[in-house]
Amino acid sequence: MPDKAALVLAAGKGTRMHSDRPKVLQTLLGEYMLAYVLAALRPHFGDDVWVVAGHQAQMLQAAFPDRRFVMQAEQLGTGHALMQAMPTLAGAGCRHILLVNGDAPLLDEHLVRIFLEKAEGADIAFASIVLDSPGAYGRVLREGGQVRAVVEAKDCDAPANGAQIHEVNAGMYLLDLALVAELLPCLTCANRSGEYYVTDLIALAATKGHSVRAVECGKDESFLGVNSPLELARMEELLRARVAERLLQSGVLLHAPDMARVSPFARIEPGAELTGPCEIAGRSEVRRGARVASHCVVLDSVIEEGAELRQFSHLEGARVGVGATVGPFARLRSGAVIAANAHVGNFVEVKNARLGEGAKANHLTYLGDADVGAGANIGAGTITCNYDGSHKYKTIIGEKAFIGSNTALVAPVSVGAGALVGAGSVITKDVPEGDMSIARGKQKNLPRKKV
């Protein structure tokens, strides 16, 4: 049984986001806000992480199908969320719980580690930061330097309890579950929000003489939450700049770094070269010596060593081999595999198809559900007709085959190695190896009627 587990608060509506989606499903650099929090927790808690879901819970579960959820049908505050989770946490047998807000995308593994180390031994510990403008954050009240309470901003009336206090609650707690079980029944909703606050546990514990500790984190903005589109944009820019700086320090060649949007979950090797504006999203990998030109979008794709992605190319779920060239204006869809030294040129679309080593499709082509052999040449305007309205079928093109321009290959069909298909053909039958096939109407030249 785990000594510690984590509970992520993600049930809120996020009214100020003006969106039908849960706030934690808003995206930064192409990733859900909640994904950043979960990634920060994973090295410390593994699978011992529960997420409190409420507003649009089905959307949250669909976005994170491998996560364990606690339902908060009514959103009556953070303390109420903890009440709903207590039976689950008690059943798991954990003694301490790290409670964290799901709307803090700048959290990282390092911050969580430091907090856990400094919180060790306290009955209740929470992170505090200092803000020049405390705004809507709960104020930390002290007496003789000791923490006595955290008062939410709405309930701060006197100047001494409000604007003059700059130390605020950062929204991360380490709680002794046995003490929480004792104190939770004492929570009330007698406040201006009419909600049960988890922060009220701090005053209750301090009054009873338990150990309460504020882990002071200076002015670190990494704990801050997102509550509006403006704050979301600011957070995304902070995150983008952090990723760009990390890449540059690691040895990535990054041109126009202010315009490069790279997911923290992408893997960019030292020696890779990116030119902004570009977007590298998801779990993409760009290997050493690969080059991604400006105005490219790469999602969940792999760019191997020495490959080149030219301007305005879009990749999603694709793989580009060593030394291959893609673009400009190419589109590689899910399942596209471009082998070593192959060429995919301008206005070529590849979907669920493999282009063999050294093969070329340089212009205006659609290759769907196809296997193209090494060294084959696909002429401009070629399409694989892979869909009959009900089912999809495969096209096979052998090694060093030559497909003439403006050819339609009606699947299922195969063109043998070394075969040649004449321009303008509609191929409905297999072409044997080494043969030449022409499937078009005979040209007729007729006298032109004079006007």
Percent of the chain with pLDDT over 70: 98
Q: Over the stretch 244-294, which tens digit does the pLDDT of each residue have?
A: 999 999 999 999 999 999 999 999 999 999 999 999 999 999 999 999 999
Instruction: Look at residue 9 in the predicted model and tell me its pLDDT.
Output: 96
Tell me: pLDDT of 449 over 90.
no
Instruction: Look at residue 161 in the predicted model and tell me its pLDDT.
Output: 47
Instruction: Look at residue 215 in the predicted model and tell me its pLDDT.
Output: 92
In this structure, which CATH number among 1.10.357.10, 2.160.10.10, 2.60.120.280, 1.10.730.10 belongs to the domain 246-437? Answer: 2.160.10.10
Residue 244's CB is within 10 A of a number of other CB atoms, namely: 21
| Preceding omega of 412 cis (within 30 degrees of 0) | yes
Instruction: Look at residue 16 in the predicted model and tell me its pLDDT.
Output: 86
How far apart, in whole angstroms, are the C-alpha atoms of residue 175 and residue 126? 9
Kindly list the domain boundaries of the chain, sorted by start residue. 4-223, 246-437
On whether the CB atoms of residues 362 and 343 are closer than 8 A, the answer is yes
Query: What tokens were used for 218?
Result: 């200076």
More confident residue, 243 or 153: 243
Across 57-70, average pLDDT: 95
Q: Over the stretch 182-240, which tens digit does the pLDDT of each residue have?
A: 999 999 888 888 889 999 999 999 999 999 999 998 888 888 889 899 999 999 999 99
φ, ψ of residue 182 to 5 degrees: the values are -75, -35
> So which residues are the catalytic ones?
363
State the average pLDDT for the chain. 93
Instruction: Look at residue 220 in the predicted model and tell me its pLDDT.
Output: 83
Provide, for the chain, the percentages of residues in helix, strand and coil under a 3-state DSSP scheme, each rounded to the nearest 5.
25, 30, 45
Least confident of 36-40, 74-78, 253-257, 422-426: 74-78
SS (H, E, C) 252-281: CEEECHHHEEECCCCEECCCCEEECCEEEE
Residue 369's closest CA among 327, 414, 408, 411? 411
Tell me: pLDDT of 160 over 70.
no
With cut-offs at 50, 70 and 90, classify the pLDDT of residue 159. very low
More confident residue, 92 or 244: 244
How far apart, in whole angstroms, are the C-alpha atoms of residue 14 and residue 21? 9
Which residues, 6+ apart, have CB-to-CB distance to 65 below 8 Å? none
Instruction: Look at residue 329 in the predicted model and tell me its pLDDT.
Output: 98
| Fold of domain 4-223 | Spore Coat Polysaccharide Biosynthesis Protein SpsA; Chain A (3.90.550)
Do 4-223 and 246-437 come out as alike in CATH topology? Answer: no
Which residues are part of a known binding site for acetyl-CoA? 380, 386-387, 405, 423, 440
Across 352-374, average pLDDT: 98
More confident residue, 334 or 170: 334
Instruction: Kindly report whether the global pTM for this prediction surpasses the value 0.75.
Output: yes
Burial class (CB in 10 A: 0-12, 13-18, 19+), 391: exposed
Instruction: Look at residue 1 in the predicted model and tell me its pLDDT.
Output: 54
With cut-offs at 50, 70 and 90, classify the pLDDT of residue 62. very high
| β-strands 167-176, 96-101 pairing | antiparallel
